[in-house]
Amino acid sequence: MNLERRHVLGGLGTLFLPTGLLSIAPAFAAERDGTLTIGMSTESSSMDPHWHIQTANSSVSQHIFDRIVHMDENQLEVPGLAESWRNVDGNVWEFTLREGATFHNGDPVTVEDLIFSYARASDVPGAIFNLRAYLGDKTFEKADDRTLRVITEFANPIVPRELATTAIISKKVGETALPEDYNSGKACIGSGPYKFSQYIPGQVIEVERNDAYWGDKPDWSRVVFRPIPTGGSRVAALRSGDVSVIDSVPPSDVEGLEKDAGITLGRGTANRMIFLSFDHGRDVSPYATAKDGSEIPNPFKNQLVRDAFDLAIDKKAIAERILSGNGAPAEQLVPAGIFGNNPDIELRDADTARAKEMLAEAGYPDGFKLTMHGPNDRFIRDTAVLQAAAQMLARIGIAVDVDAMPANIFYKRASGGDGGVPEFTFFLVGYGAATGEVSGILRNLIHTYDDVTGLGSNNRGRYSNPEIDRLIEEGMATVDDARREEIYQQACAMAVADVAVIPLYYPISVWGMESSIQFAGRSDERTLAMDFHPAG
């Protein structure tokens, strides 16, 4: 592999840089059939593959649990447990299950297992984020022993991409299993290239190669995932040889690692938006008050206030100064090159004076008091981003307290406070287009929350705009790609104009690895041992 070659990921560049000659290689060079140890910036919160669909969890679960369709490093569909599929008509798809695929206990993977998996993933009790938004419009039937028939309520052009989001589990094992049974390993029996070995929350996850796997065998016989949330500690572990690979290289360490002869870096703009979300739903929101602490109406129900916040926050400064170039300023829901990106939406320049005027027009000439929540170990310099945004808002009269916490605590509170209502008023979060187009963000993040259909399942701010809902639903049923893209671009423009959320930046993913390893990168930010290979 030529490390100077550019790889295109979904229309976005991924560049591998040659290293310098200033230091020796780490102590332990990676060897085929040996152990690959990966330092992860975010701890996986569960081994249950349907519990919480976020990057760290999905990265780990994909080693153990197959999907019916896989997404490659460019987020293009490739065969998984289904060797082929076809659209019978607009509303009906058929997937042919490959022969010889077995679970780790030796049981064959059946159509019944597929149907059970989709039913469970739609309704896991207590799950932080279920997959109903991708599965709720589908009826699953067994056509014959090797054929799964998928019937949608309306024509759905991206059924294979949507099914790629869902891990397949054993019906026999899963019918009586609880999430904790997956954490213990009792139920953690998939059909993927690796088998569960050990999970100690906060310390380690270990998997062993499944030599009976139907597909290509990974190069590594054993993979160890170690959560190392502190960036400097991850880098130190890589330099010392304690780990072979790390994700989320801190911006401050990039230059030094580029000069290390024993380390290779890979970069790529991620198909993910990091954004600030508002409480749109409640008439009075718990973390927005007058400056004396007295109750006020929820200010974020006023579009002028949201617009003022958007203008006050300097996204270019955050990307350049806080992230040191490890993020690209976001003007909309997905970056350029992703299906549905609207090229007519331009990045707004920050304008403090105009933002103050808007607040005054909205009835808040002196501002108000606000607590801004977010994770402190999920995104690149997430606490620093929160603090920078707070300082920018202070310039327009908003008194902001920042409350950052570990991601596993943050997501539970952000997704369901008292009575199941999302807790926070204004908070930092991220969302990636799992299907490789903007429809995932529109239907999960922007569409009105609907517990029955699963639409809006990640809409923690309870934003609602019936006209945008109509466009989203029309796009979901439009098979013609050109027309569907037009619809989604219109929906994106409306969501941005209404300031449904404040897009901040698109992360530029940076992986660090021993120079004895090569890696093609992924636009979905997942770190999969199957993608890493001994160099040469």
Tokens 């790889």 -> residue: 7
SS3 label, residue 33: coil
DSSP code of residue 444: I
Angle ∠(96,99,102) on CA atoms, nearest 5? 115
pLDDT one-digit tens code per residue, 496-511 = 999 999 999 998 888 9
Cα–Cα distance list, 255 to 36, 263, 264, 384 (Å): 25, 12, 12, 20
Task: Tell me which CATH code domain 272-508 carries.
Answer: 3.10.105.10
SS3 label, residue 352: helix
Output phi, psi for 347, to 5 deg. -70, 130
Residues 6+ apart with CB under 8 A from 439: 158, 339, 340, 433, 472, 475, 476, 488
Domain 48-179 annotated CATH 3.90.76.10: yes
Check residues 29 and 335 and name the one with the higher pLDDT.
Answer: 335
Domains of the chain: which residue ranges? 48-179, 272-508
Check residues 453 and 1 and name the one with the higher pLDDT.
Answer: 453
At residue 30 the predicted structure's pLDDT band, cuts being 50, 70 and 90, is low
Nearest alpha carbon to residue 287 among 189, 424, 110: 424
What local confidence, expressed as pLDDT, does residue 324 receive? 83
**What are the structure tokens assigned to 532, written together?**
């890493």
pLDDT one-digit tens code per residue, 197-241 = 999 999 999 999 999 999 999 999 999 999 999 999 999 999 999
Residues 6+ apart with CB under 8 A from 67: 80, 81, 163, 164, 165, 166, 167, 168
DSSP code of residue 40: E
pLDDT one-digit tens code per residue, 323-353 = 887 899 999 999 888 889 999 999 999 999 9
Mean pLDDT confidence for 155-171? 93
